[in-house]
A and B are shown apart, each in its own frame.
Chain A
Amino acid sequence: MPLPAPPIPDPKRAVLATEDWIEYRTGYPTLVRKFLFRKVPHTGWFHTLGSSLLTVFILQATTGILLAMSYDPSPAGAYQSIRYITDDQTFGWLIRGMHKWGASVMVILLFLHMGRTFFYGAYKYPREMTWLTGSLIFISVMGMGLTGYLLVWDQRAYWASVVAININGTAPVLGPFISKFLLSGPVFNYLTISRFYALHMLAIPSAIVALIFVHMWLIVKLGVTPWPSRPVEGEVDR
């Protein structure tokens, strides 16, 4: 007597079973679904600036990690290691170029995103905290620009950083202490580049990641800001 044919495996059921397995143990599928498939008002291209920023930040983090694998944050070796990355390493020119241009793109997008938020009135009740966390991200990104600029360690990087540090020094009372904090001493020294490196790749990015989580949570909780206009009869999503 022939055995019954084994059931044909159903890939859809296999996927769903896996998802259920994860769902029961972590709840992540629900979290992701609620995050991705939430209701949003009528949006336009201006609403894509925030997620563009997030994308550029992820690119900066990725290329930054790759660059850190070949970078030597010391006065004697920094410039040579940058030369090596740019000229000799496989696709080093691409990774460094992405990081360099990505930095500018991020600042530009940040200003556009901030402008969109401002002109849409999206900073108003109940989204004040979203604006404030965004402002902290803005300051952090400026800090990334300042600390990253020195790491190239060419003449422009060096003198631009000297000027930036001295600008901090001109603030009354606290200024001189801030500049010595940035210099890691009373004058430009061997530790300055290490300090900028640590701030650039550890301290400030951690702060940005934490702030992004808070920022995103508030966006999900409060919803995307609709266009600033009077409600229209019959439209429900405003």
Chain B
Amino acid sequence: MTISRREMIQATAAAAGALALPSSKSGAPVPPLPPVPPKFFTPAEFALVDELSDMIIPTDQQSAGARAAGVAAYIDGRLAESFEPEPPQRWRAGIQAVEALSREMSGTTFMESTPAQRLALLTRIAAAESDPKTDAEKFFKEIKGGTIRAYYTSKIGIHDDQQYKGNVIQPGEYAGYDAT
């Protein structure tokens, strides 16, 4: 059998979406409303997941980020139909941990805090990535994994960002080099 070594031994992660942020007192730009209401997340939870995912994979000069790729909506859809009760519980608890940390660090909710405060929070929970201990730190790994899975399987991720060349018919020779 052939398969990447990673896939052979890795459990599958959750996956990604499209968005909705409430108006922000901090004056940050207000993203468009979600096309459909979230299925699992509350609107506030959805906004947080959408914002965090787009901070993890933001828009840059090459390609649009997680928000445009619909990462949060994809994650929401998978959690809404989850057969196991644990993943939805884990995500909800993780979001609550982030909110608690936000109140501790900024005195307000994550989405009500300023972009600088959000970045400070994300930087803090990401610092322990290799050995997460708190619930908020563990949630960083959860949402980063979900964002990676959803973003790099999206049209934007595959075509705009990675500029993937395969999954096309090659009528003649394979691309690549001869074994000489």
Answer yes or no: are A and B bound together in one complex: no
